[in-house]
Amino acid sequence: MLVTFGASAHEMTPAYPEVKPSHVKNVVKVEMSFFNSREEIRYYQIDLFDLNWMNIPFSTTYRIMQVDYKEHKSFDVYIRKKDMPEAVYLCTTSKVRRTNQSSTLISSRICSRLDGEPA
Amino acid sequence: MRFNMKYSIAILSVCAFPALANVEITGSVEAKCVIQTTKSGSYGNPIASKLSTTPADGGILPVMRYDVSIADAYIASITHPTAFSSSPSLTDTIAWTGSTSVTQTSVAGMSAYEAAKTVVGNTTNFNLTLAGSTWFSTASSATYGSAKPLPGGTYTAVVQASCIAK
């Protein structure tokens, strides 16, 4: 059975976000922008990893955020200053829905880097 | 009255000159990666114990397109499945195989991605050294242990397509 999707994309910027001070002491924030044009996807998970893809604690409004089709969304991620030396990858991953067809689903993940642009 | 009218017309005509100003349109191009899911795949069932996305087995290969705006800023990392995300109850092991290949490119130089790819476990990494679009397809097959027939039902597996800033 053929299952296709048209222009169906997942986009997150910036690739190298600026780390800014937040209103909370010893906590910094990064401001991200997100766009969902995957019609079959409504939820995206936010994760923060170190260089070895181990989870790093962070805070945001919704760890799994709902982003409707063709919707732009801005979100802030708050990270403790003491965790910043380890924090490298800030990622959003699509949450795929179960289907009733024998198929392969595609989970897309885009990761920005918090430790700056490559030299 | 006529005098006032004359002056009013003169003043209005001065005011009627269009206000001219230069309005700038600015823009910037920054590193950006967009993952397009061009085609989600489908498993064919060529023999009772096997599911495969290979067209020769009746399957459909999932295809992903990566658009990058800046050269050498991202790595495409694509992981083929090693488990079903949903399936009927299985009592034996599944032998998984899979691979990911470049199938189409927007720039001729991108054809080198295929030879330069690195495979770590079930993940294939491509260094996106050029700006533009690259299409990747992932083959996946699952064979039930001891060549037993797979139980009837719906099987779903997930391909993880990642675009990671370098």
Which residues in chain B have their CB less than 8 angstroms from residue A16's CB?
Answer: 31, 165
* Structural domains in chain B, sorted by start: 31-165 (2.60.40)
Task: Provide φ and ψ at A97, rounded to 5°.
Answer: -95, 150
CATH topology of domain A10-96: Immunoglobulin-like (2.60.40)
Q: What is the pLDDT of residues B29-58, one digit of tens each?
A: 777 899 998 888 999 999 999 999 999 999
Given a cut of 70, the residues of chain B with pLDDT beneath it are 1-19
CB atoms A3 and B40 under 8 Å: yes
| Beta-ladder partners of B142 | B51, B96
CB atoms B37 and A3 under 8 Å: no
Which residues in chain B have their CB less than 8 angstroms from residue A9's CB?
Answer: 34-37, 67
* Reported pTM: 0.84
Residue B66 contacts residue B35 (beta carbons within 8 Å) = yes
When scoring A44, A53, A104 by the number of chain B Cβ atoms within 10 A, the one with the most, hence best to mutate, is A104
| pLDDT at A7 (0 to 100) | 55
Strands in chain B per DSSP E? 33-42, 50-52, 63-68, 74-79, 94-105, 118-120, 123-128, 132-144, 156-165
| pLDDT at B16 (0 to 100) | 56
pLDDT average, residue stretch A77-89: 97
Give the Å distances, CA to CA, from B65 to A60, B10, B21, B35, B74: 29, 64, 43, 6, 14
Amino acid at B34: V
| pLDDT at B15 (0 to 100) | 53
User: Could you report the predicted ipTM of this complex, rounded to two decimals?
Assistant: 0.86
Which residue ranges make up each domain of chain A?
Answer: 10-96
| pLDDT at A63 (0 to 100) | 95
